[in-house]
Structure 1
Amino acid sequence: MGMERLDGARRGARGGRTLARETASQIKQFIIASRLHPGDPLPSEAELCERLGVSRSSVREAIRTLNTLEIVEVQHGRGTFVGQASLQPLVETLVFRAVMVPGDDFKALREVVEVRESLDLSEADRVCARLRGTRNADLHDLVDIMVAAAERGESFGEEDREFHTRLLKHTGLDIIAQLVAAFWDVHSVVLPQLSIPAPDDIELTARAHGDMLCAAEAGDSQAYRRAVRDHYAPLRRVLERTDHG
């Protein structure tokens, strides 16, 4: 009898989770169909129950899930609002996967680097087309800061991230910029956890940012792609040495 009750409880829990997932999907569809934007309020819990035909517990569980994913934002005392839907949950999941996967400790990091490079290369034509003939003083300033830091033997991670995301935002590629920033964040967290030293020739990476920018402003997509590969070359070399060391 005890086992039967336990099995029934497990089935009930699984059913509850399934219903909560379905409710979460319905809430997302409601947000899309209603053309709501980040910061817009959602209906009250009671209204959602009535609209979706589900229980309060299902709505609460669904809201908790969506809040974790930053699809909605719960403001206690005020209500629930459409969230920013940032990529931070993706970053945290990828970081966890990268440092917890058994066996090849460097496989996940190599893949992250490959994704970063692929994203930069894939947008070469659009970046160069949109920045051709322009002068982007803010990006040139970032390049100068990175080169100066590299010459002093200092890191320039914050400026590196800002350069890549701002470059893409200048071209209107906001979603790609978010993806680039997300994978940069994974990279920056995982790298020190694997005790990988900074490349000896990191100055080449700093200067490659300037080459990327000049190529984009000249509308030269081939030169841009060469600069992207030069940018990642020092990191690829240090990964290869560490992996085989």
Structure 2
Amino acid sequence: MKTSAVPQARFSAQARLRALQADIMDLILERELEAGDPLPTENELSIALGVGRNTLRESLKVLQALGVIEIRHGFGMFVAPSNFDALADGLTFRGRLSLRHQGLEALQLVDVRQALESGLIGSSMDVMDKEQLAAIEAAVIQMEEQAAAGENFVEADAEFHHRLFEPLNNELLINLMGVFWKVYRKIHTEVGAGKSGREDLKETAKIHREIYVAVAEGDKALASERLNRHFDGIRLRITEAVAE
């Protein structure tokens, strides 16, 4: 039986659009435009790039979806500020889709977040001051209080992980960790609490307390180990979910 294939004409059109998108990004870089700066008008871009307006608009829509440019109707086009929403949405979709099969991509996304956090905690501890350490403990205390009341502590959890790596003063890293945290939470919600039927909030808060203690005591190896173990639960729940 013959397999269906993408028509050559369509493939060529897609390749041309990708090339045009690359040309537009090159133009932004060559003209040294920064986030918030206006782009040339559609007419100017069409002339500069040698393409028709309709073809140009298709590429501009893709670049808008990717977070490269902003199109403000009535005002024009601008270089977009840093925005990782598209990346988070794409990775979340891939992870959730994989749960219908073996869950491989969902597990890989957990692996990436685990590797980032356990691998960088030592560097963060090297430059962490007392105020930053206190902010981490404050997030733990909030988790413990909400767990005692039977309340989920999603925001406190996010704050804890943000505060752990804030001392590195690396905006790109923080943004990427934010992406993986959002993906992680979506997958966590999708797979539920596993065979137990409910999530042990107090145990989860305890795990975060233990991570904090290792950090406060300056034990890098133990902090890394405990961060690694922190992800065992979600990995088990993914495995259980795809096995059902």
The TM-score with structure 1 as length reference comes to 0.81
| CA 138–48 in structure 1, closer or farther in 2 if over 3 Å, else same | same
Hey, what's the Cα distance between the residues in 1 that align with 2:42 and 2:239? 54
Instruction: Work out the CA distance in 1 between the residues paired with 2:32 and 2:150.
Output: 49
Does residue 73 in structure 1 map to residue 75 in structure 2? no
Q: CA RMSD in A?
A: 2.7
Q: Using CA pairs under 8 Å that are at least 6 residues apart, name the structure with larger relative contact order, 1 or 2.
A: 2
SS across alignment from 1:80: strand
Give the aligned residue type for 1:135.
E
User: Could you tell me which of 5, 18, 21 is aligned with 1:21?
Assistant: 18
Q: Tell me, what secondary structure is at the counterpart of 2:144?
A: helix
Q: Equivalences for 1:171-210 in 2 at 5 Å?
A: 171-197=168-194, 200-210=199-209
Amino acid at match of 1:127: S
State how 1:35-50 maps to structure 2 within 5 Å.
Answer: 35-50=32-47
Q: CA deviation at 1:144?
A: 1.1
Give the match for residue 85 of structure 2.
Answer: 88
Aligned equivalent of 1:128, options 92, 106, 125: 125
Give the counterpart letter for 1:41 in structure 2: P
Size of the aligned set, in residue pairs, is 234
> For the residues of structure 2 that align with 1:176 and 1:42, how far apart are their CA atoms?
28
Q: Who is 1:139 aligned against?
A: 136
- CA distances 1:144-185 after superposition (whole Å, capped 9, x unpaired): 111212222321112212322343233212222222211221
Superposed, which structure 2 residues align to 1:107-126 within 5 Å?
Answer: 107-126=104-123
* Structure 1 position 218, deviation (Å): 5.0
| CA deviation vs aligned residue, 1:29-61 (integer Å, no higher than 9, x gap) | 222333322212111112212222222223211
Measured in 2, the distance between the counterparts of 1:238 and 1:57 equals 47
| Structure 1 residues 36 and 165: CA distance shift in structure 2, 3 A | farther
Deviates more, 1:94-103 or 1:17-26: 94-103
Cα distance in structure 1, aligned partners of 2:17 and 2:187: 33
Q: Is the 8 A contact 1:129 1:216 kept in 2?
A: no
Name the CA shift for 1:242/1:46 in 2 (closer, same or farther; >3 Å): closer
Q: Deviations over 1:57-100 (max 9, x none)?
A: 23211110000111111000001111134222222222222233
Q: 2:3 is matched with which residue?
A: none
Distance 1:171 1:205 in 2: 25
Q: Name 2:227's counterpart in structure 1.
A: 228
CA contact (8 A) 1:205 1:230 kept: no
| One-letter code aligned to 1:146 | M
What letter is aligned with 1:36? L
Amino acid paired to 2:204: T
User: In the alignment, residue 47 of structure 1 is paired with which amino acid?
Assistant: E
CA distance in 2, matches of 1:34, 1:211: 51
Identity fraction in percent: 26
Match of 1:3 in 2: none
> 2:52 aligns to what?
55
4+ long deviations beyond 6 Å: none
Distance in 2, matches of 1:223 and 1:121, equals: 10
Q: Report how far residue 13 of structure 1 moved.
A: 4.8
CA contact (8 A) 1:204 1:231 kept: no
Unaligned regions of 5+ residues in structure 1, if any? Answer: 1-9
Q: How has the CA–CA distance of structure 1 residues 98 and 32 changed in structure 2, closer, same or farther, with 3 Å as cutoff?
A: same
User: Where does the alignment leave 5 or more consecutive residues of structure 2 unmatched?
Assistant: 1-6
